[in-house]
Amino acid sequence: MATPSPSLFQPALVREAVGQAFVKLDPRTMFRNPVMFTVELGTAVMFLVTLGLLFRPDATQGSFGYNVTVFVVLFLTLLFANFAEAIAEARGKAQADSLRKTRQDTPARVRQPDGSFGRVSSAQLQKGQVFVVEAGELIPTDGEIIEGLATIDESAITGESAPVIREAGGDKSSVTGGTKVLSDRIVVRVTTAPGESFLDQMIALVEGAARQKTPNEIALTILLAGFTLVFVIVCVTLQPFARYAHAPIAVASFIALFVCLIPTTIGGLLSAIGIAGMDRALRANVITKSGRAVETAGDIDVLLLDKTGTITIGNRRATHFWPAPGVSEGELVEAAVLTSLHDETPEGKSIVELARQGRRLDEPALQQRALGGEPIKFTAETRSSGVTLASGQRLRKGASDAIGSLAHAAGQPFPPETSQHVRTVASNGGTPLVVSENDRILGVVELQDIIKPGIQERFERLRRMGIKTVMVTGDNPLTAKFIAEKAGVDDFIAEAKPEDKMQYIRAEQQGGKLVAMMGDGTNDAPALAQADVGVAMNSGTQAAKEAGNMVDLDNDPTKLIEVVEIGKQLLMTRGTLTTFSIANDVAKYFAIVPALFMVAIPALGALNIMGLKSPQSAILSAVIFNALIIPALVPLALRGVAYQAVGASALLRRNLLIYGLGGVVVPFIGIKVIDMLVGLFL
């Protein structure tokens, strides 16, 4: 469950942001933002000019009050820009403070070389050490369960109150420091060095310490710096023209013109937009290792999704036994149960439950037969599992082609009737598990899963955004095709092995596409590392979390869709505010340029289409509007532009209409209203 977003302007956050706005006036800090740094230089020049007029008035530079007003407005422009960044950072720091309360220096019982357990502080735990945690105790640091299983309360990290089960082996073995064991006992191996736990990473990210500018943000900063340089040249070369026209321009007017021409709006909000994008991802309970990952998610072309748990509910249940010709149902049931007694997966447990229904199952006898046997765990390579009993009897269950290969290698036939059962089950969207005894085919166990409600609508939204969805499953092609068509995905990879995912991702990337995927197992790690956006689940293995560039704390397989939407919203917000900022300048030209030359060149009065009262009021109105528009847009920068699942061309038309045309019209209205108010005091 995502962390609820607090009010944008809480009094405590505003007070802290105001203080930081003054701190950020340090030129060493401002230098990182070329646009606002030049505004600061202009403000410094205005301060010196105003100070000079205090001791030596100069009619050509305007009145002292006029110059003071321009200086104050420019100074406020700097503070407003710094405030936008500071309020975004303050929101992150407030979240970091709440996370610090979660991080406690808890005692840990560490396994000693002699097998005993000694107590040490959680801050002293080193990677590779082993500790034990029992019911009612906090997990001291991040790790991977190597023995036992437990019910764990992860609400301190994820905000989700429902407890989860974590167990050794499989893809649900990871635990997070600061969470609480509610039942049972687990033995955990430390997987992170001191100061590198998820809580530490989250705190660093929300405080902004780990935030680096993304490639798009760097490119936009360079573009804005180029615009600023162009307008520096424009303003410098304007002075000779003014002298030629016998229209002396005051320093205040020059600086006001320059500040209004350069893209101060987007320059002041750019950092806040980036910080807010990271903040939105974290509030969705996704840890991003860099802002680049969030931004890349907004440009994704292909999305790989696991079938189980993402497209379907995930808990496949056995629904029917289909014995092969010459095999009794009891024989098939006994073999299926024996292969499942050591199988802790939901599928294995459901086979035992189905066998108990309406049958006289001698379970104690079967358990006795299974004692001393060698369990064979399921792997992505073999796509089968089972048991080799102490008597040497080999019992296996798995995908039809995997079990069929074993039968073929042993010279055993694959009954046509069983093949038909496999096709029938698969065609109905089920998963057929073929059971064999010493490589002799005994029959099929039918597993059924349910497609998640509403998943078709989500895929349709992605399709409208131009994103291709690909379902990844270990099922046979018939089952995969049925589920893919019913769910509405664009493509599928059936009988998928780890290398199949890698090959698919590479093929798409070679075609110039950006690919995202989600995984939780060690076998997903290569594909997560290869994908442009790899989201690992927090409950997954350490290998998966290290390979991905995002970690989902909620362990929600559909979160990848939300991550894509967050990334697109970040790009949309930056694009729309840039459009608005540049469009803003049009009205300022019509306000300031006529004001500078109207006295010397009366014909330029025709450009005063807003009917501004005087040259001084026109300049002041433009500068004041330029300052006020920054705080007015702070809520939009922090919340993000309202997201809509539409294509790129439709999005461009919408943004040009609302923020392009709006960016032209709003300043005309705003400057005129301010001019009417300023005129009352001039």
Write the pLDDT tens digit of every residue in 109-164. 888 888 778 888 877 788 888 999 988 888 888 888 888 888 888 776 665 656 77
For residues 298 and 435, membership in a common domain is answered with: no
Angle between helices 198-207 and 64-102 (to 10 degrees): 170
For residues 274 and 291, membership in a common domain is answered with: no
Looking at the chain, the whole-number percentage of residues with pLDDT higher than 70 is 88
Looking at residue 384, its pLDDT comes to 87
How many domains does the chain divide into? 4
Position of tokens 């939780």? 520
Q: Which of 518, 553, 588 is the last residue of a domain?
A: 553
Looking at residue 451, its pLDDT comes to 78
Give percent helix, percent strand, percent coil of the chain, each to the nearest 5.
Answer: 55, 15, 30
Flag whether pLDDT at 204 surpasses 90: no
For residues 296 and 278, membership in a common domain is answered with: no
pLDDT band at 3; cut points 50, 70, 90: very low
For residues 589 and 666, membership in a common domain is answered with: yes
The answer to whether residue 4 is domain-embedded is no
- Residue 437 tokens read as 């005894």
Looking at residue 79, its pLDDT comes to 93
> Which sequence positions are flagged as catalytic?
306
- For residue 514, the domain's CATH number is 3.40.50.1000
164 beta partners: 152
The answer to whether residue 108 is domain-embedded is no
Mean pLDDT in residue range 650-670: 84
Looking at residue 341, its pLDDT comes to 85
Starting at the edge strand found earlier in the chain, the sheet holding 550-552 runs: 286-288, 550-552, 533-537, 515-519, 302-306, 468-472, 491-493
The reply, when asked if residue 397 is annotated as ligand binding, is yes
For residues 340 and 430, membership in a common domain is answered with: yes
390-447: per-residue pLDDT in tens? 888 999 999 898 999 999 998 999 999 999 999 998 888 788 999 999 999 999 999 8
Average of per-residue pLDDT values in the chain: 82
537 beta partners: 552
pLDDT band at 207; cut points 50, 70, 90: low
488-543: per-residue pLDDT in tens? 889 988 888 778 888 899 999 999 899 988 877 777 788 888 888 888 877 677 77
Give the range of the structural domain holding residue 251, as residue numbers without chain letter.
Answer: 11-94+206-283+564-679
For residues 426 and 329, membership in a common domain is answered with: yes
The answer to whether residue 559 is domain-embedded is no
Mean pLDDT in residue range 376-389: 83
For residues 80 and 213, membership in a common domain is answered with: yes
Q: What stretch of H or E contains 306?
A: strand 302-306
For residues 547 and 475, membership in a common domain is answered with: yes
Task: Please state the φ and ψ torsions of residue 137, each to the nearest 5 degrees.
Answer: -105, 150
**Per-residue b or e along 5-41, where b marks 16 or more CB atoms closer than 10 Å to that residue's CB:** eeeeeeeebeebbeebbeebeeeeebeebbbbbbbbe
Q: Which one, of 347, 321, 483, lies nearest residue 418 by Cα?
A: 321
Position of tokens 């959680």? 122
The answer to whether residue 305 is domain-embedded is yes
For residues 520 and 602, membership in a common domain is answered with: no
612/599: higher pLDDT? 612
pLDDT band at 165; cut points 50, 70, 90: confident
The reply, when asked if residue 449 is annotated as ligand binding, is no
For residues 428 and 332, membership in a common domain is answered with: yes
The reply, when asked if residue 253 is annotated as ligand binding, is no
The reply, when asked if residue 380 is annotated as ligand binding, is yes
The reply, when asked if residue 37 is annotated as ligand binding, is no
Determine contact, residues 136/153, Cβ cutoff 8 Å.
no
Q: Which one, of 14, 548, 42, lies nearest residue 254 by Cα?
A: 42
The answer to whether residue 104 is domain-embedded is no
Q: Which one, of 281, 305, 169, lies nearest residue 554 by Cα?
A: 281
The reply, when asked if residue 243 is annotated as ligand binding, is no
248-265: per-residue pLDDT in tens? 778 888 888 888 888 888
Flag whether pLDDT at 76 surpasses 80: yes
Residue 23, amino acid: V
Residue 434, amino acid: V
Spatial distance between the Cα atoms of 124 and 411, rounded to a whole number of angstroms: 59
4-28: per-residue pLDDT in tens? 445 667 788 888 889 989 999 999 8
Determine contact, residues 235/261, Cβ cutoff 8 Å.
yes
584-593: per-residue pLDDT in tens? 877 787 777 7
The reply, when asked if residue 382 is annotated as ligand binding, is yes
The answer to whether residue 113 is domain-embedded is no
Looking at residue 646, its pLDDT comes to 65
Q: Which one, of 526, 205, 533, 577, lies nearest residue 380 by Cα?
A: 526
Looking at residue 2, its pLDDT comes to 43
- For residue 427, the domain's CATH number is 3.40.1110.10
Q: Which one, of 672, 662, 661, 656, lies nearest residue 588 by Cα?
A: 672
Query: Can you give the pTM of this predicted structure?
Result: 0.65
- For residue 188, the domain's CATH number is 2.70.150.10
Q: Which of 171, 193, 215 is the last residue of a domain?
A: 193
Q: What stretch of H or E contains 390?
A: none
The reply, when asked if residue 173 is annotated as ligand binding, is no
The reply, when asked if residue 384 is annotated as ligand binding, is yes
Position of tokens 């792997």? 379
Q: Which one, of 674, 669, 678, lies nearest residue 587 by Cα?
A: 669
The reply, when asked if residue 545 is annotated as ligand binding, is no
The answer to whether residue 101 is domain-embedded is no
Burial of 322 (0-12, 13-18, 19+ CB in 10 A): buried
Q: Which of 486, 519, 553 is the last residue of a domain?
A: 553
| CB within 8 Å of 515: residues ≥ 6 apart | 300, 301, 302, 303, 304, 505, 508, 509, 530, 531, 532, 533
The reply, when asked if residue 383 is annotated as ligand binding, is yes
For residues 235 and 167, membership in a common domain is answered with: no
The answer to whether residue 371 is domain-embedded is yes
For residues 273 and 293, membership in a common domain is answered with: no
342-378: per-residue pLDDT in tens? 887 778 888 888 888 867 677 788 888 888 888 888 8
